[in-house]
Structure 1
Amino acid sequence: MQAKKRSVIAELSSGELGYLVTEVRNHLLAGIERELSPLQITAAQFVVLNSIVSGKGRTLSEFCKLLGYDSGAMTRLLDRIEAKGIIRRVENPADRRSYLVELTEQGKAVFPQARQGTQSAFRRMLAGFSEDDAEALRGLLHRILANTAEA
C-alpha cells in the first residue's frame, strides 16, 4: 500500500511559501549588498536612488510605501544618503510642508555603476534559467501579487 503524497499546495500553505520567499529576498539583498559595497551604498539606499531615477518616488511617503518603512526610519535612511552627497532635499512647490528628493551630480554619476551592480546580482540569481523559465517565474510572481492584492 502506497502512502498518499501530500500536495505541494498544502506544503506551501503550511509556511514553506513564506520561508522560500523570505530566503530568496534575503539572498537577493545580500547579493546586492556585495555588489554595492565598493560604492558604499546599501540595497535600501539603491532602492531610493532607483525610485528617483525611474520616477516611482520623490517624497518621504512614496519611499515609505516602496520600502515598507515608517517615516522615522525612512528619514534616517535619507539622512545617511544625503550625508554621502548622493541626494538632496528640495522644497516641494506643491506642498510647502514637505520636500522632494533628487539626485545630486554625484548621485547621477554613481547611479549607473550601482544599477550595473544590482543587475549583476539579479543575473546570478537567474543563472541557468531559460527564457521560458524566466517568463514562467515572472508570470507566477505576478499571480501571487494579484492574489495578495485581492486579500
Structure 2
Amino acid sequence: MTRIVSKEEQIINLLNVLGNKISPKFERCTGISSSRFEILHELDQVDEINQSMLQKIINIDSAAITRHLKQLEADLMVTRRKNPEDNRVTFVRLTDHGRKQIEGYKAEKTNYINQILQGFNEDEVYALADFLERMQNNF
C-alpha cells in the first residue's frame, strides 16, 4: 500500500536523501572529504591561523579538527607549530604542496557543483539558494 505524502514531507524526505548522498559523492569526485576541503579552503585564505579559531570557523569539535589536521600534516599539506609564548596555542598554515592541492580540489568542486545543478538555469539556482537559506534560518 502506498502512503500519500504531503509536499512538505516530500521536501524533507528529499533533503534527507540529498544530504546523505552529497558528502560521499563529493569525496568520490574530489578525493577529499568536505570537512578537509573546508579546512584547506580556510587556510588558503590566510597565512596562518590559530587552530581554535579554525575549529570555530569550520564549526567542528576540537577532537575532529585535531584528527583532520594530523592527517593533513601527514599528507604534507599543512604544518602546525606551538605558540612560543603559550604552548596551549597551536598555529596552522598550508604548505606549498597544500596550496597546489587545494587548487585542484577547487576545480573538482566546481565540476561537482556543475554536475549536481545540471539543467538548472541561473534564476532557478538563485531561487533554490534563497529557499534553502530561508529554511536554514528557521532553525
Give me the CA root mean square deviation. 2.7
Conserved in 1, the CA contact under 8 Å of 2:23 and 2:33?
no
Distance 1:44 1:87 in 2: 15
Amino acid at match of 1:144: M
* Structure 2: unaligned runs, 5 residues or longer: none
Conserved in 2, the CA contact under 8 Å of 1:28 and 1:125?
no
Q: 1:25 aligns to what? A: 19
Conserved in 1, the CA contact under 8 Å of 2:27 and 2:34?
yes
Distance 2:18 2:57 in 1: 18
Structure 1 pair 120–95 and aligned structure 2 pair: CA distance change class (3 A): farther
Q: 2:91 aligns to what? A: 100
Amino acid at match of 2:7: V
Amino acid at match of 1:133: E
Q: CA shift at 1:63, angstroms?
A: 4.1
In the alignment, structure 1 residue 132 sits paired with structure 2 residue 108: no
Conserved in 2, the CA contact under 8 Å of 1:88 and 1:102?
yes
Q: CA shift at 1:61, angstroms?
A: 3.2
Q: 2:107 aligns to what? A: 116
| More strand as a share of residues | 2
Structure 1 pair 6–63 and aligned structure 2 pair: CA distance change class (3 A): same
Conserved in 2, the CA contact under 8 Å of 1:59 and 1:100?
yes
Identity of matched residues, %: 28
Q: 1:8 aligns to what? A: 7
Q: Taking structure 2 as the reference length, what is the TM-score of the superposition?
A: 0.79
SS across alignment from 2:92: strand
Question: How many pairs were matched up?
Answer: 135
Conserved in 2, the CA contact under 8 Å of 1:28 and 1:122?
no
